[in-house]
Amino acid sequence: MLSQTHKIVLALLFSATEPLTKSQVDICLEEDVDLVQIIADLNQYLETEGLPVWIQLVAGGYRLMTRAEYEPWLTRLFQNKGKLRLSRSALETLAIIAYKQPVTKSEIDAIRGVDTSLRPLVEKNLIKINGRQEGPGRPLLYGTTDHFLEHFGLASLKDLPQVKELAEIAGEDNPLPDIVEQDATE
């Protein structure tokens, strides 16, 4: 059986429209809870009871999600409006921005070898402008959003896919493996 605290957390998860963070839970419960343990218990409970939902750690918070097997019905319910699939060039561009942020458009273009249109990604709230780079022209700097993490089911930027070369230089204090510097030293 679930404790009262567990039930409250589950209620919060049910009604939250964005990932629920530990600090939000602490404020609601007016105490410092072991949220990781509670979520693990709840997931265990949802699993053993055979319920169609589970709790995912995404974009720095917890979110109640339907299980994958119910996708066909949910797709119909939302009439394909719920999910967007990105094009290959959009994915490539996002990959560059995710690893090199904050990054300018000209840096992105240099890597891809083509002129990249960033506006659609901004409009889809996958990337955002993070100020301007100091220097000539003061170009805009781009970075990924929380929605980007949600779209790909990532808990944080540390969970981005690792590529061989990237894995070697990714340190504890450096959540964003930076490839520029590696190239600059060559």
- Site for another protein, rule CB under 8 A: 13-17, 53, 56, 63-68, 70-71, 74, 76-83, 85-86, 88-89, 91-92, 94-96, 98-99, 111-115, 150-154, 160-161, 163, 165-166, 179, 183, 186
Vertex 22, ends 18 and 24: CA angle to 5°?
60
Please state, in angstroms and as integers, the Cα–Cα distance from residue 46 to each residue in 41, 49, 54, 162, following that order. 9, 5, 6, 31
> Cα separation of 42 and 62, whole Å?
12
List the one residue out of 24, 35, 182 whose CA is nearest residue 99. 182
State the DSSP code for 49: T
In whole angstroms, how close is the CB of 63 to another protein at the nearest point?
5
In whole angstroms, how close is the CB of 123 to another protein at the nearest point?
17
In the block, which residue shows the tokens 């990714």? 170
89 versus 156: smaller Cβ distance to another protein? 89
134 versus 178: smaller Cβ distance to another protein? 178
94 versus 141: smaller Cβ distance to another protein? 94
In whole angstroms, how close is the CB of 54 to another protein at the nearest point?
8
Q: Which CB contacts under 8 angstroms, 24+ apart, belong to 26-29?
A: 29/5
Q: Are strands 61-66 and 53-58 parallel, antiparallel or unpaired?
A: antiparallel
79 versus 134: smaller Cβ distance to another protein? 79
In whole angstroms, how close is the CB of 138 to another protein at the nearest point?
25
In whole angstroms, how close is the CB of 88 to another protein at the nearest point?
6
32 versus 69: smaller Cβ distance to another protein? 69
